[in-house]
Structure 1
């Protein structure tokens, strides 16, 4: 099968930014497939550090974390990975893609930003996939005679693609177009996200790590986290600790409590609506900025770096400005989607002309 090589265009102009183009994004996730040490370290991180690891933190004998190991592999010019062909997932993956390194240098801080941003986008995609009734994990509810439903999220069903169930569902629904791709409809949940997220999804499904990657664990028990548990986690832990005593108390102002609870619900609904609108605006701004970057990159290809030096440098600066905008939008979007208690905020916007 023919292999296609997609080099990283204008890598030097983006070298100090945190975002990746699609090819390097494939490279990022493929490390978990080909480097067992990185995958093992990442899974160990999500399980939490044991006592020996905790005691060794900051010492000379401390093991490298998954991020350090991952960055070493990513930046190693000798480690070149290739995607597998999967035309059913998306037309982009009809053939294998050789992920050449280019000049991009990955740092731990950039890696964390990339991981967190893509996790946020994927969480939304998979949530919609599970809720739509179109995903293969929903096929059993359509196809099984017992009509089982309401199944709790788990590693076995969260975001998983089951080819046989997907084909069965497509046959029952008479969806000939889906049958052509073995019922794989995950690409329809991209919305305005980039295609590389589909490959992340597929790789994590193959490695059976979607549930772990999405952090579908009790927020208050992950000892590997270096952050204070969020408000939701703290509230949940507090509720667990005081559930017995609270259940024995009777409210003397039941009507007032009911009114307050209803007011809180209404405020929550308003905030949720505003957050959805804010997220849509951010995604559109990201999409527009990326379109402008592609236009500028095409223009750079037509310029002579020496003869057109002034125009060339001006376009490079525009690329850097757009990339900063994208990073800002993605961080805002990640923060918005990560927090269950997110409040509407004023968006920052720095227009970069083309």
Structure 2
């Protein structure tokens, strides 16, 4: 991997960042995390209250990549076959024809994923981890790149089902949009009131170029001390008295892969401990489950993780 490869990563992602910025005002950190997940071959969970732009961000990122895009609106009556596909008997040919479901795309936008039943949510498990779909005993590979961007409202809201632990663990990062600052909200009144900015959004890259960038990111170097730091953070969550469920080995792998993407976006061929530290909360927090005493005391997974980050020594980058 040379300097030219990293220049390609930063140049293309700058175009995508600017394109999404036409639609999402004042959320640079959230957009940066979304780009990191895209390059790290992960999946993104966007969680927040209604009306803050979760679906808008997902659609803007999807439209910025000239690949196949499908949107799945998760509802209580959605069936697993609507997600993965179904075999339908054709009386003319007297054979079963497979009708692909919503996951057969480069970018899948899952809107309000926690409004579907747990049975339907679980239809995504194989797709997200193994990038394949098995229907009626036949396994079909999903095209690369494959990115699921799911949105969900907080689980305390009416008509929602909490995502099971196995489902949450498939998402590389979880981000919260948050309310915009007044200046960004005022700018939105001018740019969004007359027309939908998504209507004018054009692709600035394609699936083939994204595959090339993913290959470049995979070559970013992770030194042994940095790898040990990631493992130490995950281990500390598993031994914390405030947690009954710590970070899985998959979470450690996702943390390192996301750190490699963050390093490439910064124009570096190597990962720094700062990359691991900066991504620990979006990558790990949604996988942790507080114990009863911690929950009663109001200790959120983010608060417990902040204590872990403060306690685990950061290795010397040299």
Same fold (TM over 0.5): no
Structure with greater Cα Rg = 1
> What's the TM-score once normalised by structure 1's chain length?
0.23
Of structures 1 and 2, the one with the larger relative CO (CA 8 A, separation 6+) is 2
Higher helix share: 1
